A and B are shown apart, each in its own frame.
Chain A
Amino acid sequence: MSLLEVQDLAIHFGGVKAVDGVSFDVAPGEVFAIIGPNGAGKSTIFNLISRVYNPTRGTIRFDGQDITGLKAHDIAGLGIARTFQNIELFDHSTVLDNLLMGRHTHRATNFVQDILFLPKVRREEREHRRRVEQVIEFLELEAYRKKMIAGLPYGVRKVVEIGRALAIGPRLILLDEPASGLSVEETRDVAFWIEDMRRDMGLTVLMVEHDMSLVNQVSDRVLAVANGQPLALGSPAEVQAHPDVMAAYLGTGAAA
């Protein structure tokens, strides 16, 4: 059974059909990439899945449950985490606090327990800290633990955002252009991390990416979209060889 099923998804902003009839499903443990030219609707698909936007039509199912009617703040609790193309972090907090905020939905203590800092709160706090330290170690963020986000280089902030998504403890992680703006070495790290997320953490990865070498290296299947519509779905090689995809990228005007 698929972990994520997207059926006939569409969203229209006024007359603009940003996403128009996109369907795909992602199997557990799969790395699935969405590619397409700028403005194709890739990030919009992410915003629909993470419930930032409400679709005009279509359904999104996660682990068999229809999540189309849920709110953006319900998604983390289900086990879906994401990053953003333009990095959305808590800029005036430290790296550590940003990652700890990822544990928000896992905090089970109540208001009074928190204020009194009861043993239960302390135990929970240690557990959250332990989970966050695992993420820090995994992403090699040790040097930045106590640094404010606002002063960090772009590449590091990008990694911190992946870290916060991992701290949520998700089953599905959505990465929105994880390699954009990164150097060749940094992109290579991202590729290793994605492999490890799948292999060691058992995560399912859905990503939007322009860097075709990264897509080829890590993804099992690729969906190409253009103008909000699906062009091709298959292995990276199949999709890149598809005539409609080549037309969409090279602009020969032959696209559907």
Chain B
Amino acid sequence: MELLQLIIGGLANGCIYGLVALGFVMIYKASEGVNFAQGDMMMLGAFIALGFGNSDEMGLPFFIAVILAMVLMFGIGWGVERVVVRRIFGQPQFALVILTIALGFVFRFVAGSIWGYTPLVLETPFAGQNLRGGGIVISLADLVTIGVTLVLTIALWAFFAFTKIGLAAQAASQNQMAAYIVGVPVMRINSLIWGLSGAVATVAGVLYATRGAIDPNIGLLGIKAFAAAVIGGLGSLPGALLGGLIIGVVEPVAGRYAPGELAKMSPYIIMLIVLVTRPGGLFSQIQMKKV
């Protein structure tokens, strides 16, 4: 029973890692590089939702606040590509790494100067509600997190697999020149993907905030989510989610049953094992690129 309880909590945690990892994968596909500000975009999205929704701020209804935050973060992601990332197009991948690490600092500073560094709680309709059955307790927040993640992952998968824009994005990530020549506006698609990844990060941030207080440094979770994306194989959306779930479940289980600090190391130990045994990740679709 205890193990089951740990696993359910771990799955919910893993969903959040998975959602941030989805953002890594989308941008990796679009810009051929890693967006190390992904965790900070999650943080910023959560704070923007808090700004719109909390009763001592703008006090909008929760769902409207979340949707507005997603729209705003879409705009921020889109703008980052348009104004900053596009300028380093064609530069070595490392340029994007440094650029996005810097962006992460900027986002943290912006959030800190608006909302301060003391942890704040996002007011949600699911706070403190639990479901009981068969000796285990599931918080409504966990259940919502798992449900929303499932729906969002399926929606994103359908978007990339079936829609004209989604297929164009896949084409552009495989070969930009070929994409241009069949009529794909590659640059516009890249901006869109960055926007989409901002919106997904917001969902991750809001789900994170349903489970505890937030402060401008929660974006560091992005490093764990990056491990999740690598475990899944950087180019695969389902792989990213699976990587997140693995890390999410192993962490609390290791925390309970394994000695000392092993729980904190576990995501990276798993990443190392995967990199050694399957360098392309569990769902390797694309050829491995050095990141």
Q: Say if the beta carbon of B171 comes within 8 Å of chain A.
A: yes
Q: Say if the beta carbon of A144 comes within 8 Å of chain B.
A: no
**Inter-chain contact A89/B163, CB cutoff 8 Å:** no
State how many residues of chain A have any CB contact under 8 Å with chain B.
31
Give min CB distance, A94 to chain B, whole Å: 12
**Inter-chain contact B158/A115, CB cutoff 8 Å:** yes
Given contacts A90-B171, A114-B162, A115-B163, contact A164 B177 (CB under 8 A): no
State which of B10-18, B76-84, B180-188, B221-229 sits at the interface with chain A.
B180-188
- Please tell me which one of the listed residues B159, B162, B184 contacts residue A104 in the complex, with CB atoms under 8 A apart: B184
Q: Which residues of B contact A147 (CB under 8 A)?
A: none
State how many residues of chain B have any CB contact under 8 Å with chain A.
24
Given contacts A92-B286, A104-B164, contact A76 B158 (CB under 8 A): no
Q: How far is the CA of A164 from the CA of B171 in the complex (A)?
A: 13
Instruction: Indicate with 1 or 0, residue by residue over A45-69, a CB within 8 angstroms of chain B CB atoms.
Output: 0000010100000000000000000
State which of A105-113, A131-139, A217-225, A248-256 sits at the interface with chain B.
A105-113
Q: Which of B155-191 contact A (CB under 8 A)?
A: 158-159, 162-165, 167-168, 171, 174-175, 177-186
Tell which of B167, B175, B186 has the most Cβ of chain A within 10 Å.
B175
Give min CB distance, A101 to chain B, whole Å: 5
Q: How far is the CA of A125 from the CA of B52 in the complex (A)?
A: 42
Given contacts A73-B184, A92-B285, A115-B162, contact A104 B177 (CB under 8 A): no
**Inter-chain contact A101/B171, CB cutoff 8 Å:** yes
Q: Say if the beta carbon of A193 comes within 8 Å of chain B.
A: no
Give min CB distance, B89 to chain A, whole Å: 14
**Inter-chain contact B177/A109, CB cutoff 8 Å:** no
**Inter-chain contact A105/B178, CB cutoff 8 Å:** no
Q: How far is the CA of A101 from the CA of B181 in the complex (A)?
A: 10
Q: Which residues of B contact A110 (CB under 8 A)?
A: 164
- Please tell me which one of the listed residues A52, A93, A102, A114 contacts residue B163 in the complex, with CB atoms under 8 A apart: A114
